[in-house]
Amino acid sequence: MTIHTVESTHGTVRSGVLDPMAASVVKIEPGDEVSYPNTWTNWQNEMKYGMSFAERGRLRQQYPGCPYPLIGPVEMAGAEPGDVIECRLTRLRLHEWGCNVFPRGAGALPRDFEEPYTYYFLFDETRTRADYVHGITLALAPFLGIIAVEPSGDSPVSALPAGAYGGNLALRELTVGSSLFLPVAKPGGRIWVGDVHALQGDGIVDQTAIKSTAEDMRICYELRRGVGLTRPLAETDTHWIGLGFAGNLDDALVDCLRGMISWFSTAAGITKAEAYALCSISASFRITQYADQTGVEYPDMPPKGVHALLPKDIFPADVRGRVDRWLRPGDSGRRLGLESTDV
């Protein structure tokens, strides 16, 4: 395994878009790891601790469109459409601060608050805790909000939406040790990452949770051939996690459910009816993302997101093994140990 380092610079960061015209920042082999030290804040790293909402507003006007800084693209040698890239987060240590902010006209309650809100958090030295108002203490659980391969086509794609290519998934389970499987749409995959969160609740109802940056972040990329995935799939030590997207929550749940039935029945060797029943009996369907951004300047809106957590411990070892071999053909059927579990 080779470890490559990709610094955040004006040459490696795009503000708010997956840019097919950008040159690859590094070309890697399957199983290589990429280190991303000192990732940037929003608006080309110009957002600073303590900045007022008015100062942020001036940056928003200076940099119209989605503000999320995306690092990439990383090119995977040999990746072709029809393959899947497994992105496994092996290390994520936050910088010392983060913030929660919501403007007027955004979030799940776009008309309920007359004034925007901003709160800056300072994290402890271990980057595991933050204090809030009224003596409230928060245990941090950092993760990446955006992981994507470029979709087909030659036009830039906004980082606000999500889809089959990944994108703005905002899935809080994508912490250290998790994997995200993304179907490749163009040669090399061209992987972009960004939007570090220190902590988030399911739904992100005010739109932002605690945004932060990474002091130290590493991702291991594996190439999986012959895996019949057509949408993102996440995995932790305890769950398989499917995702669904749509313009409303009803359709997002149905999209998520159909996706879960499709891949899991094939991978586990069970019938679609049995997979449907298992989703009803044992899976937890949760709101991943809910936002109404009609009052802000962004040209795109994240779709409503629903994710389903299917617990592994209900299955016997032979079924878990079948699923693992389906996701990782050619491997030993055992998830590799992590080099580091720093947070």
What is the residue extent of each domain of the chain? Answer: 3-327
309 has pLDDT over 60: yes
What is d(CA 319, CA 326) in angstroms, rounded to the nearest whole number?
A: 11
Q: In terms of pTM, does the model score above 0.85?
A: yes
pLDDT in tens, 164-194: 999 999 999 999 999 999 999 999 999 999 9
- Give the CATH architecture of domain 3-327: Sandwich (2.60)
pLDDT in tens, 52-69: 989 998 998 888 878 889
With cut-offs at 50, 70 and 90, classify the pLDDT of residue 333. Answer: very low
> Burial, 121: exposed, middle or buried (Cβ in 10 Å; 0-12, 13-18, 19+)?
buried
Report, in angstroms and rounded to the nearest whole number, the Rg of the chain calculated over CA atoms. 19
DSSP class of residue 61 equals: H
At 299 the pLDDT is 59
Is 194 within 8 Å of 15 (Cβ atoms)? no
